Amino acid sequence: MINNQTISVVVPAYNEESQIEKVVQNMPDFVDKIIVVNDGSTDKTLDVVKKLIDSPQNKGLEISNKLNTINEPKEYNRAEQVLLEKRKEELKFFPESEVVNENPESNRVILINLKKNSGVGAAVARGYKWCLDYGIDCVAKMDGDGQMDPSELKAICMPIVNKEVDYVKGNRLIHQSAWYVIPRIRFLGNSVLSIFTKIASGYWHVSDTQTAFSAISNKALNAIPIHKIYKTYGYPNDVLVKLNISFCTIKEIEVKPIYEVGESSKMKIGKIIFPILWLLTKSFIKRIWIKYLFKDFHPLFILYHFAFLLIALAIPYAIQIADNLSKIGSKTPNDVLLVFMFLFISGFQSLLFAMWMDIQDNNRLYKT
């Protein structure tokens, strides 16, 4: 606990038997609850964590499940009652799981066992759900592979504790050692995904969008549909989009890139980059419609769609021009060239103006 704010760390773990004990034992003393989510591991990860929760030293801050709070119906609290009932029912949307601890309210290390491997995003979401139900003020997230420095955890949590922002994420790319330590293919893949995540999420100033070292406030957990978080490695990108739709503020903290320590990362950039790009495409469309039409209308909604329409109309003319250029002696009619130039230039200008308005509108959500 820091400044009377409860702190927890969600640790998703899949086949981390050699590292998970070290990760848990190195947690700073200010962490009140360590929620290890075993994502259907096939090694001895589950057994290792079971020994930790059965240890006599597994004493933690006594807390209670807020969903068990009984509020008498009153004239003006029906909205709160409805929300409470929805919170109780939404566990069915998460992967089937069990809380292994007999006394999770008083234990420091909590073990949630997913019945089958569901993906790192699903494991994190399940950990978030536990923290939300117990009213944790600041929920950090660290991997179970030992590739995050626990000494940096306080810097990640403090902006949440001080109520400066709703979400904090680490940024390895701005560290001076990044170019020398991060493998080139990962640096390139991360940079490409960061560019597209800026556009999709509306947080135009973020980078290193694939880092999972983060902290989120109770307010933000209540604001986003955590059961809909993307289930695999694209979940940090998806979380950013959901936070932006809910008008949550964000801040980045410089953290060290750590490689060749602990277990090797199971993430393969070549396999995940295209699924994440498709996720970001869908997320961008969803953000524009929900945030700038249904929640709060903004002219950039029209500009974006006008730009896409004009560019789409220019495509047949572009194909005709390219076809004529491929044929020797073939000449493209002037009217085709003029129509193409008008549609493409107008569409591109509208797109740039819409992006500029998007940047201006979202500057208020990014804190330095």
Pair 303, 180 in one domain: no
Model pLDDT, residue 57: 86
Q: How confident is the model over 229-243, as a mean pLDDT?
A: 94
Distance CA(201)–CA(197), nearest Å, equals: 6
Lowest mean pLDDT, pick from 84-93, 252-261, 358-367: 252-261
pLDDT tens track for 24-40: 999 999 999 999 999 99
Pair 89, 177 in one domain: yes
Please state the pTM of the whole predicted model: 0.89
Q: Is 32 a domain residue? A: yes
Pair 249, 175 in one domain: yes
Pair 273, 305 in one domain: no
Q: How confident is the model over 16-30, as a mean pLDDT?
A: 92
| % of the chain residues with pLDDT over 90 | 65
Model pLDDT, residue 70: 64
Pair 258, 122 in one domain: yes
The pLDDT mean for the chain works out to: 90
Q: Is 1 a domain residue? A: no
Pair 220, 316 in one domain: no
Pair 154, 227 in one domain: yes
Q: How confident is the model over 153-177, as a mean pLDDT?
A: 92
Q: Is the predicted pLDDT of residue 84 greater than 80, yes or no?
A: yes
Of 264, 291, 318, the domain-final residue: 291
Model pLDDT, residue 260: 60
Distance CA(306)–CA(83), nearest Å, equals: 38
Model pLDDT, residue 366: 93
Of 291, 312, 345, the domain-final residue: 291
Contact 107, 53 (CB under 8 A): yes
Structural domain total, the chain: 2
Pair 30, 97 in one domain: yes
Model pLDDT, residue 81: 81
Pair 264, 346 in one domain: no
pLDDT tens track for 50-73: 999 988 889 988 898 888 876 666
Of 274, 291, 308, the domain-final residue: 291
Model pLDDT, residue 262: 52
Q: How confident is the model over 234-259, as a mean pLDDT?
A: 92
Q: Is the predicted pLDDT of residue 110 greater than 70, yes or no?
A: yes
Q: Is the predicted pLDDT of residue 16 greater than 80, yes or no?
A: yes
Q: Residue 7, SS3?
A: strand
Helices (H), the chain: 20-25, 45-53, 78-89, 120-133, 153-161, 178-181, 184-201, 218-223, 235-245, 269-289, 299-326, 334-362
pLDDT tens track for 272-326: 778 889 999 999 999 999 999 999 899 999 999 999 999 999 999 999 998 888 8
Torsion on CA atoms 78, 84, 85, 89, rounded to nearest 10: 160
Model pLDDT, residue 273: 79
Q: Is 139 a domain residue? A: yes
Pair 258, 308 in one domain: no
CATH code of the domain covering residue 102:
3.90.550.10
What residues make up the domain containing 60? 7-291
